[in-house]
């Protein structure tokens, strides 16, 4: 039995290929894919100058679909169930996993990045995908295209926000930098989970309009005066929490300049930005005393379950653009040019 899959066959080369439907092991599920989101990390992998593996790799870690078959050792799952895929394929047995920190599984070593579909194992930009049964999260009758982005675009900001919860008291100010796939969901999560004032920052006016539609209280166009504007809006103190969903030099610098003393700066974007933090006396544009910096990766299974519950309750909704699986290259090009409003989603 064969299927179509969008595969990385060489650095920078995407091909829609006909390949065998994957076999599953005793603890696995075969999922018939209903939708697969496209993330900037997919684009990052596509842009690497070296091959990810010695064989073609099916991309895609934001996956929603229907169970097609069930491994013989799997309990509690049945053919026809609809769900999404938790992207951290951790061991489930180590100290961190048992504490609920599956995203930093000990089996992943110092990199602390457990296997992830599309970034090692074959992913979901295909008609079928093999997944570990424990990674399946039910979604009921939720639309697949709406559900798929929750697997990262909601999971990752949920984890970053929870990691700064001690600063998100009623009346505090939170800044979301970069209103793309993750950022526009982060704005909604902040409004649904906290009573903070949310400031959205982006270079693009259309994305700022999306932030406002998602509930942002203030929208600021990024530029040389953005940090000063945030300080003015916060009485010169800075924002209690700053979430950087871009991670470039400019956004990292902005986060350091805009976060409050004792505040939380959470690095989420993967653009390689260097915030320029040093151990000198705090003051001026440097990181203020007491502020914490944390690189936040993915999220826990509990984060995903709670994000799905918020989406089911109508409190979080991904803005999506649908593309046929065969049009993945067009979707990637639009993503790379900043033309996607929210999240691009492939439909097999």
For 19, the 3-state DSSP assignment is: strand
pTM here is 0.95
For the chain (348 residues), the mean pLDDT of every run of 10, in chain order, is 96 95 98 96 88 89 98 97 98 95 95 92 98 98 97 98 97 97 98 98 97 98 97 97 97 96 96 87 84 95 98 97 97 94 96
For 124, the 3-state DSSP assignment is: coil
CB atoms within 10 A of CB 59: 29
SS (H, E, C) 222-275: CCCCHHHHHHHHCCCCCEEEEEECCCCHHHHHHHHHHEEEEEEEEECCCCCCCC
Pairwise CA distance, residues 307 & 186, whole Å: 11
Closest CA to 254 of 324, 213, 199: 199
pLDDT reported for residue 284: 73
The b-or-e profile of 96-122 (16+ CB within 10 A means b, else e) is: bbeeebbbbbeebeeebbbbbbbbebb
Pairwise CA distance, residues 6 & 288, whole Å: 46
CATH architecture of 156-295: 3-Layer(aba) Sandwich (3.40)
**87-to-51, 59, 153, 156 alpha-carbon distances in Å:** 21, 12, 11, 10
Task: List, by residue range, all CATH 3.90.180.10 domains of the chain.
Answer: 2-152+298-347
Residue 239 pairs in a beta bridge with 259
Pairwise CA distance, residues 302 & 306, whole Å: 6
CB atoms within 10 A of CB 334: 17
The tokens describing 146, both together, are 């709406």
Q: Which residues contact 111 (CB under 8 A, 6 or more apart)?
A: none
Contact status, residue 306 vs residue 137, Cβ threshold 8 Å:
no
Contact status, residue 46 vs residue 332, Cβ threshold 8 Å:
yes
The CATH H-level (homologous superfamily) assignment of domain 2-152+298-347 is Medium-chain alcohol dehydrogenases, catalytic domain (3.90.180.10)
Task: List, by residue range, all CATH 3.40.50.720 domains of the chain.
Answer: 156-295
Contact status, residue 320 vs residue 344, Cβ threshold 8 Å:
yes
For 103, the 3-state DSSP assignment is: helix
The string of DSSP letters for 159-180 reads HHHHTTGGG--TT-EEEEE--S
For 276, the 3-state DSSP assignment is: coil
């Amino acid at each position: 039995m064969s299927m179509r899959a969008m595969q990385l066959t060489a650095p920078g080369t995407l091909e829609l290929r006909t390949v065998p439907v994957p076999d599953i092991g005793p603890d696995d599920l075969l999922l018939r894919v209903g939708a697969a989101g496209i993330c900037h990390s997919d684009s990052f992998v596509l842009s690497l100058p070296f091959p990810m593996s010695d064989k073609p790799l099916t991309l895609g870690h934001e996956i929603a679909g229907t169970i097609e078959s069930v491994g013989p050792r799997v309990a509690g799952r049945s053919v026809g169930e609809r769900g999404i895929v938790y992207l951290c394929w951790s061991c489930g047995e180590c100290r961190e996993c048992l504490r609920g920190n599956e995203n930093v599984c000990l089996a992943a070593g110092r990199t602390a990045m457990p296997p992830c579909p599309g970034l090692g194992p074959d992913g979901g930009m295909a008609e079928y995908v093999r997944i570990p049964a424990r990674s399946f999260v039910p979604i009921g009758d939720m639309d697949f295209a709406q559900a798929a982005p929750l697997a990262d675009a909601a999971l990752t900001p949920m984890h970053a926000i929870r990691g700064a919860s001690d600063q998100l008291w009623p009346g505090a100010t939170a800044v979301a930098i970069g209103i793309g796939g993750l950022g526009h969901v982060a704005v909604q999560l902040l409004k649904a989970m906290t009573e903070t004032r949310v400031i959205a920052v982006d270079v693009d006016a259309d994305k700022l309009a999306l932030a406002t539609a998602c509930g942002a209280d203030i929208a600021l166009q990024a530029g040389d005066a953005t940090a000063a504007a945030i300080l003015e809006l916060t009485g010169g103190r800075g924002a209690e929490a700053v979430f950087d969903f871009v991670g470039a030099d400019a956004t990292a610098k902005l986060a350091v300049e805009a976060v409050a003393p004792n505040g939380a700066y959470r690095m989420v974007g993967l653009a390689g930005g260097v915030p320029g933090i040093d151990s000198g006396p705090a003051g001026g544009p440097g990181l203020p005393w007491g502020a914490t910096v944390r690189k936040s990766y993915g999220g826990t299974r509990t984060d995903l379950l709670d994000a799905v519950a918020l989406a089911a309750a109508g409190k979080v909704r991904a803005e999506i653009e649908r593309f046929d699986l065969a049009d993945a290259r067009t979707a990637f090009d639009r993503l790379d040019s900043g033309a996607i409003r929210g999240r691009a989603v492939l439909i097999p």
